[in-house]
Structure 1
């Protein structure tokens, strides 16, 4: 935990934004893998962590926005717990760590909320994403599971997003630590990118580095020679000379702050001419994204500028054609980059995605698009100092998508489909950095993972 003043100040900001009703925060429970006593690695709810800091199961918290009173609900351990887990401090002592004065047994949460509801008071809660908490909300609030998401508090969502979006100095120290572990993971993956190596061996090795760095991976590792599949979690292949290995991986610290990087490298340590040409386009796009990421700028505009870099580079190779700006306006570049430029990152690798991307990435000024590719942009609104984003452009050659566009004659004014035949087995390239928006621009967090092609070739060759 951070010092309790951090959590007290965060809750004060929340109480300044919402001044009526009860705020209910459910912590997560243990989740069994294959039987009750054998559980997955416990991960606390991020908003509960952010405002209360207590990182163990069986907790709930409440804030009375009218009176300012705060409560932690949980149960003290019994002798059986002590035998298996060792001595534990009381719920009251844990509440004091978070700067909360009031604590009570879990059984009293129901009557606490019933009393508030009986007086006509609103209970604010965030969207639940785990089945056990959906059922618990049904029990506590009398709301059917089918209508839970219709009853979440938009006011609370918007308040939490506003507060969590701007990272505090203590948070940045944690993110930097996660990025340092991520650096070690990716350099290790590069060194292992040799012909005949099993993908799973590399994925398992770097997952171990994440665990040794404090907690665990921040999301399931993406590592594959088939980088054209954006979220490829299959690690069954053996690396082959002449292929590209895409690794998208990050770490969590013990405080659960995340990193998220992607690098794409040549197996055996030597780019072919065709690979280097595409790689240079993606690298130019990544550098342009970093250059343009600055306060006051909409991230949507950065995404579109990067799309023009990609389209221009592909036009120079004869893969795209026509006017670059017109091609991007028509979404033609999305054949090669069907995802958004990046997302916010913090306590969640896709920060606050559980609260709804419409609130995290968009606002009244910047609204989502339904255009293919642009519709996948998770974050689009104006950047502010303290935001942490991932810049992750890519170029992919997806045979099924190429065939669909060719057969349906989509964007034929901008795509040279005959030229594309030579790239059907290319794979994909993505390059991702974690970036802090500063008062004057942006900075890559920590030491930049090797990204220049000559540097990568040297690392693998050694």
Structure 2
């Protein structure tokens, strides 16, 4: 946890932003894998963590804006519990660390919410994403389980987004710690991958770095030779000379802050000529996008700038043709780059995604596009100092998409399908780094990891010949 005053100040600011009513912040509970007492690794709700800092299951926080009071609801362990868990702090002791003086049992939540509801008071809650919390909202407030998100408080969502989007110095230090562990994960992947091993062998090594550093993964590891599949969690392939390995992974610290990086490298010592050419096209788009980051610029414009650089490189290879500005405007480049350039990062690797991209990444006047490719851009809004985000351009040769677009005669003025046909076996490339928006530009977070083709090949050669 941070110092208790950080949580006190965050809640005070939240009261001012919301203005009136009750703010209901629901923590998560244990969730069973295959029978009741065999639980998944517990992960607290990030907004509950942000405002209360308490990382144990079964807690609920209520902030009464009108009465200027705060209560933590939860139940102390029974002796039957302590037999299995050992002694633990009481709810009152934990709440004190968060700067909250009032605690009540879980049984008392329904009474308090019912009284507020009967008194016509507004009860603010965030869109629920866990089924347990959806059921609780039904029991406490009578909200249909299929409609709970519709009743979430837009005022509260906007207030939480406004606070969590701007990282303070304590958060930046934690994120940088996560990024440094993530860097070690990537160095481990690049140093241990070799022909004949399975993807799962390398995945296990990478996962071990995250756990050994005192935290865990910020998301399931993507480590695959089939990099054309954007979120590929299959790890059963045997590494083969001549192929590339894409590793997209991140660490989560003990305080739950995230890192997220991607590197693509050859299974052997070197990229082949075709691989290196496309790798350098991706890297050029990456460096161009990084250089453009600064307060006030729309991240949507940075995304489109990266798309243009990718398309220009692909035109140089003969895969695209025609007016590149027009090609990008119409979305022809999305045959090769189907996703967004990056996303916000913090307590969630896709920060606050459960609150809605329309609030986190966009505004009332800047709306998400419906165009293929551009619709997957999670962040489009103007950047501000304190934002932490990723930059991750890529080229993905997806045979099924190529066949569909060709059969539909899509973008014939911009795509050379005969040349595209030669790349069906290519796979995919992505490079990704994490950056902080500063007062005037941006700063790379964490220790640098080899990113140029030559630096990557240097690590591969050294590890394979050691």
The aligned counterpart of 2:196 is 196
1:119-158 maps to which residues of 2 (within 5 A)? 119-158=119-158
Q: Match of 2:34, SS?
A: strand
The aligned counterpart of 2:444 is 444
Deviations 1:99-126 (A, max 9, x none): 0121111101110111111110010000
Q: Match of 1:114, SS?
A: helix
- RMSD in angstroms over aligned alpha carbons? 0.7
Contact 1:223 1:233 in 2 (8 A): yes
The aligned counterpart of 1:74 is 74
The aligned counterpart of 2:370 is 370
The aligned counterpart of 2:57 is 57
* Normalised TM-score (structure 2): 0.98
**Whole-angstrom CA distance in 2 between matches of 1:216 and 1:415:** 43
Instruction: Tell whether 2:428 aligns with 1:428.
Output: yes
Contact 1:193 1:266 in 2 (8 A): no
The aligned counterpart of 1:279 is 279
- Give the superposition deviation at 1:128: 0.6
Q: Match of 2:106, SS?
A: coil
* Normalised TM-score (structure 1): 0.99
- Give the superposition deviation at 1:60: 0.3
**Whole-angstrom CA distance in 2 between matches of 1:210 and 1:449:** 16
The aligned counterpart of 1:320 is 320
Gapped regions of structure 2 (runs ≥ 5): none
- Give the superposition deviation at 1:142: 1.1
Residue range with higher mean Cα deviation, 83-92 or 108-117: 83-92
1:321-360 maps to which residues of 2 (within 5 A)? 321-360=321-360
- Give the superposition deviation at 1:194: 1.3
**Whole-angstrom CA distance in 2 between matches of 1:368 and 1:205:** 38
**Whole-angstrom CA distance in 1 between matches of 2:267 and 2:90:** 54
Instruction: Tell whether 2:249 aligns with 1:249.
Output: yes
Deviations 1:413-445 (A, max 9, x none): 000111112211000000000010000101110
Across the two proteins, how many residue pairs are aligned to each other?
462
The aligned counterpart of 1:45 is 45
Q: Match of 2:146, SS?
A: helix
Contact 1:394 1:430 in 2 (8 A): yes
Q: Match of 1:262, SS?
A: strand
Contact 1:282 1:393 in 2 (8 A): yes
**Whole-angstrom CA distance in 2 between matches of 1:298 and 1:52:** 32
The aligned counterpart of 1:174 is 174
Q: Match of 1:34, SS?
A: coil
Q: Match of 1:110, SS?
A: helix
- Give the superposition deviation at 1:214: 2.0
The aligned counterpart of 1:411 is 411
